[in-house]
Amino acid sequence: NLSQARQGLAAVSSSSYGYFGGGQKPSGSADRVDRLDFSNETTSAPGNNLPQDRFGLAAVSNSSYGYFGGGRRISPTFNSDKVDRIDFSNETTSAPGNDLSQARYSLAALSGGASYRISGSRTYGYFGGGSSPSYVATVDRIDFSSETTSAPGNNLSQARYGLAAVSSSSYGYFGGGFAPPEASTVDRIDFSNETTSAPGNNL
């Protein structure tokens, strides 16, 4: 199991390991990073935690790095715009300094991009939705090649938090959440032109 019981954490994976970061524990928000070794399913705490403790964050990854974005801190209480990076080659964590355009938590994230269809290499990560504290439809993009973040301007069709996200080689989908009330909406982002739409087939 994980080294620490907590909720509202996020996770990324390399080809060899999975990493669980952040979350909320009884005493407050956590910065802990736990590692799962896919070869033997053992878990450990490599000792390099997130630079900022928080829960309700989201995460994306490419073949070299994982990025944890957004979240909420307990003490002092505030929403975060931070993006933290874990280097899969040496498991060090750092804050590259290019943060989200808007501080928020309980958002969702996915990765994809044009070159993914050609080489399997993800080009961008997208963070969507969340609470800031009002519900937002914002989509932020992180460019894996330069680690810069930007808001491409094509946001979700419905502001909501507590949503989830998946992706194929061509599209990303943000589904569900709380608007209020609970939402069944599925929004699609087209990686070829970064437009977002609601294809109409909801949860």
The whole-number average pLDDT for the span 21-27 is 96
Helix/strand/coil for 137: coil
Q: What Å distances lie between residue 104 and 6, 41, 75, 132, 178, CA to CA?
A: 19, 33, 16, 4, 14
Alpha-carbon Rg for the chain, nearest whole angstrom, is 16
Q: What is the reported pLDDT for 16?
A: 96
Contact 56, 41 (CB under 8 A): no
Q: How far is CA 201 from the centre of its chain?
A: 24
CA–CA separation, 196 and 172 (whole Å): 9
Q: What is the reported pLDDT for 118?
A: 44
Helix/strand/coil for 118: helix
pLDDT digits (tens, 9 = 90+) for 161-172: 999 999 998 999
Over pLDDT 90: what percentage of the chain? 86
pLDDT at 8 over 80: yes
pLDDT at 112 over 90: no
